[in-house]
Amino acid sequence: MHKKAINTIRKRTVLKRKYHDPLIEPDQIFLDAKNLPEFDTQQFEGQLEQPISRGSMLGVGIVFLLIVVLFTSRLWNLQIAHSATYLKMSKNNSLNSEPIFSARGTISDRNGVPLAWNDTATEQYPWGKRTYIAEPGFSHVLGYVGYPAKDKAGNYWQTEIIGRDGAEKKFNDALSGNNGSTIVERDIAGKVQGGNIVNPPVAGENLTLAIDSRLQTKLQQFLASATHAEQFRSASGIVMDIYTGEIIALTNVPEYDSNIMSSGSDRATIAGYLQNKNTPLMDRAVSGLFTPGSDVKPYIGLEALQEGVIDQWTKIESNNSISIPNPYFPDKPSVFRDYYANNGWVDIRHALEVSSNIYFMEIAGGYKNQKGIGIDNVQKAWLRFGITQKTGVDLPLENTGTIPGPEWKAQKFPGEVWRLGDTYNTSIGQYGVQVTPIQMARAVAGIATRGTLVVPHILKGEPVVETKITDVDDVHYTAIQEGMRLAAIHGTTPDVTPVPFTLATKSGTAQVGPGGKNVNSWMTGFFPYEHPHYAFVIMLENGPAPAIGTAHRVTRQFLGWVGTNAPEYGE
């Protein structure tokens, strides 16, 4: 029966397929898996499937055909029919990454007075126009900046504000911060169509300098007035805390305008700066090299005391001149003169008081029965206090200097030997001696502190970096300080302008120029004398010989003003 039933089903199925009979026979209704145990249900055996109709297939085909036609038409429209139009649009609509300029940090003086800031009201400077204090005296301390720049297509090829001189250059990384960036879409007219900030900018740090803007301005004014009136080429002045190294004032004559240098628009003025033979762009206080004259005598005196060639009571006759044999002309001895004749017999204190050339020549090079320390110890005396060495000041382009000696002379004048007269001239700060004003400020501070040298700095609150001089006995400092006090009271430095606090000073007059007809006029010192706190240097370069006392007068004028208007510095 089972085989018969199967055959019956097969026949009816064939007939159904042949004649497309839509009816299902009763025996098909009751046929299930129990009647067909040999079907593998996991392989879908015994299941009935109805084929997809031709109408459905035709409908799907038509839809796909329409899609292809639509895309082909659009592609033809973009790439062929209107290709030129869309190409032009694509070229003139750009999606670029553009900088968001960070706010450059401001610079203030020790009392919070703004010295450099950003003017955000000018559309020409989306980063904020760098603006500097209008008072004179600040250019070499503050410096100037270079702005971001675009190419002809309007794209920034320089996106940073870059410090070019002074604090702007030295602390550029801190002041700059970090630019941000944004993605900007612009149309053919350059108008922004949209954009998103990718990275926000980070503002630069605000800096406080140790500079007191009141002292800075007045020092520059006094120097500028004296330079013009007495026909000096240039001038420089420094006031420094002897314990911390903080620079309270540092200025030069001539100087430049930081606002003009930063904007770059006044090309005629900038060209004038570059062509000026007095080089107003140079920071003379740290980069200028000058013959110091008698400013270096205190250090020779200390060395002579320490070496034992004199004691503090040793007296040497200082009258007019001394003579030594001339190796080239035996019948014409070499004569070394003093600035002031008939000083009489002087010890170390009074030699500093009257600035006796004879005294310091003899203790440096020796004369008759007086032993000298020799040129090697002359060099040692100055190097001990950092003279002709970099101080480490936080300003750009610090220079070194020169102490003449046998090796130096052999290089400068081949075949020439070092002679006693060379030692004499070197010991009084002449011949080839070259120093910077900042070196002399640190050195005289070392006298005031009795052997502590600090690193000068314009940034307020910096850690103190100091070096102790350990090979000079303390008692010797007393003799030198007392000699400098005598010079301030009634020696070579008094002037008519009163100073309301006590000074210790050492003047310097150096012969310069063709034939030594011009002079550098110097004044170094510290105050108050009883409990020193500040060192100072005043230097005027290359003026007429009759103006040798100019540095004295500027010192008295400036410190007189300080005593009246900023008396805290004299306490």
Residues 142 and 283: beta-carbon distance below 8 Å: no
| 402 and 486 belong to one structural domain | yes
Is residue 550 located within the same domain as residue 477?
yes
Which of 208, 225, 257 marks a domain boundary? 208
Same domain, 328 and 400: yes
- d(C-alpha 396, C-alpha 252), whole Å: 15
Looking at the structure, do residues 315 and 451 belong to the same domain, yes or no? Answer: yes
Query: How many domains, in total, are found in the chain?
Result: 3
pLDDT at position 84, please?
Answer: 64
Q: Are residues 299 and 411 in the same domain?
A: yes
Q: How much of the chain exceeds pLDDT 90, in percent?
A: 68
Check whether residue 496 and residue 385 sit in a common domain: yes
Q: Per the domain annotation, does 173 fall within a domain? A: yes
Q: Is 453 in the same domain as 339? A: yes
197 with 317, same domain: the answer is no
Q: 145 or 190, which is more confident? A: 145
Domain span at residue 376 reads 213-570
CA distance 109 to 241: 15
Tell me: do 189 and 299 sit in the same domain.
no
Q: Do 295 and 385 have their domain in common?
A: yes
Residue 157 φ then ψ, to 5°: -100, -20
Most confident segment among 13-22, 117-126, 288-297: 288-297
Does 61 reside within a domain?
A: no
Residue 66 in any domain: the answer is no
The Cα 110–Cα 339 span in angstroms is 42
Residue 81 lies in a domain: no
Q: Same domain, yes or no, for 429 and 317?
A: yes
Higher pLDDT, 331 or 469: 469
Mean pLDDT, residues 448-463 taken together:
97
Read off the pLDDT of residues 234-293 as tens digits, 9 standing for 90 and up. Answer: 999 999 999 999 999 999 999 999 999 999 989 999 999 999 999 999 999 999 999 999
Residue 87 located in a structural domain: no
Tell whether 404 is covered by a domain: yes
Does the CA dihedral 135-136-139-141 come out positive or negative? negative
| Residue where a domain stops, chosen among 164, 187, 208 | 208
What CATH number corresponds to the domain at position 176?
3.90.1310.10
Question: Phi then psi for 170, rounded to 5 degrees?
Answer: -65, -40
User: Would you state the structure tokens that stand for residue 571, as one six-digit string?
Assistant: 């306490």
Domain C-terminal end among 185, 208, 231 = 208
Q: Give yes or no: residues 148 and 166 share one domain.
A: yes
What CATH number is given to the structural domain containing 300?
3.40.710.10
Q: Which residues pair with 539 in a beta bridge?
A: 236, 522
User: 325-369, pLDDT tens digit by residue?
Assistant: 888 888 889 999 887 778 899 999 999 999 999 999 999 999 999
> By mean pLDDT, which of 3-17, 95-109, 110-124, 550-564 is the weakest?
3-17
Position 530 in a domain: yes
Q: How far apart are the first and last CA of the chain?
A: 134
Q: In whole angstroms, give the CA distance from residue 265 to residue 52.
A: 83
In a domain, 127, yes or no: yes
Asked if the model's pLDDT at residue 33 lies above 70, the reply is no
